[in-house]
Amino acid sequence: MTDFYPKSNKPAQILDMNAFDRDKSKISGAVQRRLNNVGASSVLFYREPIEMVSAKGAWMTAADGSQYLDFYNNVPCIGHCHPAVIEAVSQQLSKLNTNTRYIVAIVDEYLEKLKATFPASLSNVVLTCSGSEANDLAMRLACKSTGGTGFIVTECAYHGNTAFVTQVSPSSLKNETLPNHVIAIPAPSVQNYGADIEQGFTNRVQAAIDELSQRGIKVAALLLDSIFSSDGVFSHPNGFLHSAVEVIHRAGGVYIADEVQPGFARTGENFWGFSAHGVVPDIVTMGKPMGNGFPMAGMVTNPHLLDAYCHDVGYFNTFGGNPVAAAAGLAVLNTLESERLQDNARILGDNLKTRLINIAEQSSIIGEIRGSGLFFGIDIQAQGTHSAELTIQVIDRLREQKILAGAAGKQGSTLKLRPPLCLTQSEADFFIEGFRKVALA
């Protein structure tokens, strides 16, 4: 059972992200200090990492005084250092911070406001500290309620960092392979499935169910990031997940929507990514933007799924659902509303997408533009083929233009862009100007 990475079913390719590499990069004093403290667990962006000192709105300021437009981090969804979160956290920290073994009114106020964003069937919430903890619990609920142990994910999925969740996160595996009970299927792209993505993807889900069955394993869940972030961002056509969800239900499995990246209004048209597909998940997990950086995450589900698990195993999370997290979460939900940030994500996102497509038509290195709202995947290509190396160069050149970006996708050749939802028109213009220079250089 603890043999959690049997040597089989190795993912086709491991992502080589935009990371500092101590064997390839020059090591500054600040980087050496970090390496001394955290050793091999260090994961720094850029071949020459950036020391940051402050941030505000969509901008981050480095130690050398440079200001960068943050087009990468989806955590500060309402903007870095938003006063609403600072005030809410400071006030609640001054009043009461304790665990959910006591009743605290603000916690239930938050839970009710959060639940109101979901379909009515998803009426029980468990708050945790991280999306990893949320997915770890969701997977156990799936196993317990279905009697199955098999999971179907996409081939570059990332769902978190616990032992159990790492098993279903092919993108985390460097010299390891997927265990026998996990099947990773190709991302829902035209390249992989042709024009009828829905039919192709659904067929592949059914084939995975059958393959698990041949291995003697009953499927527990289809676990999908609703916008396939680490696979390279696959958002369209709306509704393509519909029949795959029917298929997993027919097989007795549940559908878990991982909203850690697309959730909380980022996709513009919808508050949650799964809504674009006209489906109701059995379990939804959420995290990163939930507290705008305050460590909090959660899971919502049907009561009967939660009952089945809690009947046999106690679950308690010391920090999960504390009143300070509730205050931060409330501030985020209230600000998304009061600043109309979902509308902003939709309107500015559509505008940016049109301009990006225009640039792509003139550029030899920009391929397909995908995404929804303020979540973009942009393929980078050298002589018409995917290029991870060129993608890293593009990220470095965007950095020279004072724009922060990241990479994703099976070939590591997709730019992943997720600016704060408070992005302004002039900041969007700044990005387009910098991006145009890099794309048309």
d(CA 406, CA 416) in angstroms, rounded, equals 5
Q: How far apart are CA 118 and CA 116, in angstroms?
A: 5
Least distance from its own copies to the Cβ atom of residue 269, Å: 25
Pick between residue 91 and residue 358 the one whose CB is nearest to its own copies.
Answer: 91
Tokens of 181: 């009970």
Q: Does 325 bind its own copies (CB under 8 A)?
A: yes
Q: Please tell me whether residue 341 adopts helix, strand or coil conformation.
A: helix
Which residues in the 333-372 window bind its own copies by CB under 8 A? none
Angle between helices 323-338 and 83-95 (to 10 degrees): 150
**What is the smallest separation between the CB atom of 288 and its own copies, expressed in angstroms?**
6
Compare residues 136 and 379 and give the one whose CB is closer to its own copies: 136
**What one-character DSSP code corresponds to residue 274?**
G
Give the residue, chosen from 33, 215, 250, 437, that forms a contact with its own copies under the rule CB under 8 A: 33
For residue 188, is it left (φ>0), alpha (ψ between -120 and 50) or beta?
beta
The secondary element (H helix, E strand) that includes residue 408 is strand 406-408
Distance of closest approach, residue 36 Cβ to its own copies, in angstroms: 7
Q: Is 51 in the site for its own copies (CB under 8 A)?
A: yes
The residue whose two tokens read 């999971």 is 151
Give all strands of the β-sheet with 403-404 in edge-to-edge order. Answer: 59-62, 67-70, 403-404
Question: Near its own copies by CB under 8 A, which window of 164-172, 199-207, 245-253, 357-365?
Answer: 164-172
Q: Positive or negative CA dihedral for 325, 331, 337, 341?
A: negative
Instruction: Please choose, out of 73-81, 197-205, 341-349, 354-362, the segment that lies near its own copies by the rule CB under 8 A.
Output: 73-81
At its nearest, how many Å lie between its own copies and the CB of residue 393?
19
Among 11, 57, 76, 367, binds its own copies (CB under 8 A): 76
List, as one string, the DSSP characters of 127-171: EESSHHHHHHHHHHHHHHHHS--EEEEETT----SSHHHHTT-GG
How far apart CA 10 and CA 383 sit, in angstroms, is 29
CB of 148 to its own copies, least distance (A): 9
Among 309, 375, 376, 430, binds its own copies (CB under 8 A): 309
Which positions from 261 through 300 interact with its own copies, judged by CB under 8 A? Answer: 287-288, 293-296
CA distance 381 to 309: 47
Interacting residue with its own copies among 21, 24, 26, 40 (CB under 8 A): 40
Q: Which of 12, 22, 54, 196 binds its own copies (CB under 8 A)?
A: 54
Is the Cβ of residue 234 or residue 309 nearer to its own copies in the bound state? 309
Residues in 103-142 that interact with its own copies by CB under 8 A: 103-105, 107-108, 111-112, 115, 123-126, 129-133, 136-137, 139-140
SS3 297: strand
Find how far residue 287's CA is from the centre of its chain: 8
Residues between 204 and 233 with contacts to its own copies, criterion CB under 8 A: 220
In angstroms, give the least distance from the CB of 313 to its own copies: 6
Selected range binding its own copies among 32-40, 192-200, 391-399, 432-440, rule: CB under 8 A: 32-40
Q: Is 45 in the site for its own copies (CB under 8 A)?
A: yes
Is residue 252 part of the contact set for its own copies (CB under 8 A)? no
CB of 335 to its own copies, least distance (A): 14
Q: Which is nearer to its own copies, 166 or 411 (CB)?
A: 166
CA separation for the pair 411, 391 (Å, rounded) = 10
